[in-house]
Structure 1
Amino acid sequence: MTIAPLIILLLGIFIGIPVAFAIGMSALSFFLISNAMPPEIFIQRMVAVTHSFPLLAIPLFVMTGVVMNYAGITSRMMNFAEAMTGHWKGGLAQVNVLLSTLLGGVSGSANADAAMQSKVLVPEMTHRGYDPAFSTALTASSSIISVIIPPGIGLILYGFMGDVSIGRLFLAGIVPGVMICAAMMIAVAVQSRRLKLRPAFDAPMPWPNRASALRGAFLALLVPIGIVLGIRLGYFTPTEAGGMAVLFAIIVGIVQRELRLSHIRPILEQTMQATAVILFVICAANAFGFYMTWERIPAMVAQTMLTLTKNPYLLLLLINFLLILAGMFIEGSAALILLTPILAPVVTQVGVDPVHFGIVMVLNLTIAGVTPPLGTLMFTTCSITGVPISKFIKASVPFYIVLFGMLLLLTFVPQISLWLPNLQFD
């Protein structure tokens, strides 16, 4: 077996080469070193994956989030979240968590959610007396909800790489997403009492005002509901759902008179930039996956793991530990693309449902994004807010406890993820 590509990959990541380039270089090295096939196959493998219809959902859902930002829908959702929870202790912190949950059905990306809230909500929290480290840690931690609530891009990537129904994955993420939101809000309530944080409002907002805030956000709240129902009732595929979501966001922006012709160029630029990063990793990973398949690496990894234990719970515990370690050093989407073809066949051999494992894997790798030393969510939020990494880590400890606790709960109680898709697809 040729291990040079693996060494090049690990070395590239270690010295700080962008993950997509490290994967591409390691894959290319296999085709250059190996005499079994011409190097032109490398380009073929890179390009072939772009012909996949399910992957078209990624730029469409990315564009949905961008359009909604320009259409003012994001700010309306923040107003609704504040109207509902602003009178609680630590009201703006509760708004932070609730907004991440609402945006999960819009952006589908933890990094996009964390960056947006770091720019918009954290400065306001700091202005009202919140510790910037607490606000930044909360923003990074709560953004994890975005990848679980449909239509999370991580779920699309896992479904594509693992050949798992994306519709079932979308349904499977609803209950876990709501549960993580509730757990985070409880953690914020406890921390708010300990830190003596004041509410945003001295009294609950009157119900007519809450109803007005709900009307402003109502159309955006229909997006995840419409996506799930449309897929379930057979009106469109997950990929077509992305196109419908873009169209719906544009219509809402026009109706609310906030979307303008001048927004077309920045919307397209931001969509292309975000999509290019993801798809470059996918293309490189597809070429690298060809190397792994040729050398039978997934089969050997599966065999090695199964020799350690065939108990599904112990195997899931072992995989969770390995995923956390991998996610600390590799960006979540890249790790998901690389590891799904290796690990999904392993867990299915011991009877673990691939939909359940998808929720666990996506959540696991996203949680790793807020952990040192190289968590992408940690660096994204800290770079925007200017909070030192050491203070971020200290402020994140209560949220680490909640997130890892929820990860273990979802790992060992698969019914939480599976009861809704089983109910709807039986």
Structure 2
Amino acid sequence: MITPIIPPGIAMILCGSLANVSIGKLFISGIGVGILLCVGEMLCVSIISHKRGYKPTRVKGEKLAGSEVARVIRSAILPMCLPIIIIGGVRLGIFTATEAGAVAVLYSVFLGLLYRELNLEKIIKGLKETVLSTAGIMLIIGAASALSWVLTKERIPQTLTELMLQISPNKYAFLLLMNIFLLLCGMFLEGNAIMIILVPLLFPIAMEYGINEIQILMVIIFNVSIGCMTPPMGTLMFVVCNETGCKLKEFIKECAPFFIVLICELLMLTFIPVFTTGLVTLFG
């Protein structure tokens, strides 16, 4: 759910490429959006845990030993440098967003070997899974790109822009309708396909309404992220149920409070631009 939103999420690279928007700025915006998402979900978990009487595994008041704190920091410091390296490298122009993916892979392999959690067998298995995953994604991207090209050639984005401006000159009405439409699409379609098809259609309309380019793309990405967990065809929903053995009905029931939080956060991102543009403005 959170991986497309926090840098270096592939969704941000894809949307930035489609809309010709700075991927580095999207990465910075993703930090703020990711923090908002984490805080909202943690509050939801805390409230549910309190209501159900869940007990902490550590006794209240018990302090961590200094050696344990040092061990945790030592084991986490290098992996936590990965997003810093990627975001910093893209923002400073050291490498492109595409090259950042290669850097991330090399750094991850290095860490795996350093911590002795990676061997030749696991590397080969990872390469096989990557090939299969990439092939599936590329098939979707290929078909969606062809459709996107046809829509552009037929001037569908321009026609939709004129139509929307005639229907309502209010940008907030457009944003609300767009959210509803994207959430419905997310229930039935794969996220990458949604972005490839709809970003070229929705982005020009948003620009005519004077909506910030970073804001509109982050709202689209957030919508797609919600869609991957939404019945009846949410891909992440089926993956979680398959891996954990959880029944679909139980999953939907337990996720209901989190969906409410996600919708509230979506509305905040939609109607309060500072949540998506604040850090971008701050860091230039």
Is TM > 0.5 for Structure 1 vs Structure 2?
A: yes
Q: Which moved more, 1:200-209 or 1:257-266?
A: 200-209
- 1:384, 1:248 → 2: CA distance? 28
Task: Map 1:17-416; keep pairs closer than 5 Å.
Answer: 144-202=1-59, 203-416=62-275
Any gaps of 5 or more consecutive residues in structure 2?
A: none
Distance of 1:183 and 1:155 partners within structure 2: 21
Counterpart Cα distance in 2 of 1:277 and 1:354? 29
- Percent identity, aligned pairs only, is 41
Q: What CA distance in whole angstroms lies between the structure 2 residues aligned with 1:411 and 1:273? A: 36
Paired residue secondary structure (1:145): coil
Q: How far 1:419 sits from its partner (Å)?
A: 2.0
Contact 2:2–2:225, Cα closer than 8 Å, also in 1: no
Aligned-pair distance for 1:372?
1.5
Cα shift at 1:188: 0.4
Deviations 1:112-154 (A, max 9, x none): xxxxxxxxxxxxxxxxxxxxxxxxxxxxxxxx22211101111
Question: Is contact 2:227-2:234 (8 Å) kept?
Answer: yes
Q: 1:257 to 1:391 in 2, by over 3 A?
A: closer
Aligned-pair CA distance for 1:204: 4.7
Offset of residue 423 of structure 1: 2.8
**In structure 1, the residue corresponding to 2:246 is in which secondary structure?**
coil
Q: What SS does the aligned partner of 1:148 have? A: coil
Q: Which whole-Å CA distance do the structure 2 matches of 1:386 and 1:245 have between them?
A: 32
Aligned partners of 1:320 and 1:197: how far apart in 2?
Answer: 35
User: Which structure 1 segments of 5+ residues have no match?
Assistant: 1-143
Count of paired positions = 282
* Offset of residue 414 of structure 1: 1.1
SS in structure 2 of the partner of residue 361 of structure 1: helix
Q: 1:387 and 1:244 mapped to 2: Cα distance?
A: 36
In 2, Cα distance between the equivalents of 1:166 and 1:274?
A: 23
Which SS does the other structure have where 1:235 is aligned?
coil
Give, in angstroms, the shift of residue 255 of structure 1: 2.1
Distance (whole Å) between structure 2 residues aligned to residue 328 and residue 257 of structure 1: 40
- The verdict on how the C-alpha distance between 1:391 and 1:257 changes in structure 2, with shifts beyond 3 A counting, is closer
Q: State TM-score, norm by structure 2.
A: 0.94
| Cα pair 1:298 1:342 within 8 Å, conserved | yes
Counterparts in 2 of 1:251 and 1:172: CA distance versus 1, 3 Å:
same
Post-superposition offset of 1:207: 4.3
Asked if the contact 1:232/1:424 (under 8 Å) is kept, the reply is no
Partners of 1:306 and 1:379 in 2: how far apart?
Answer: 39
How far is 1:394 from its partner? 1.4
What is the CA distance between 1:313 and its match in structure 2?
A: 1.6
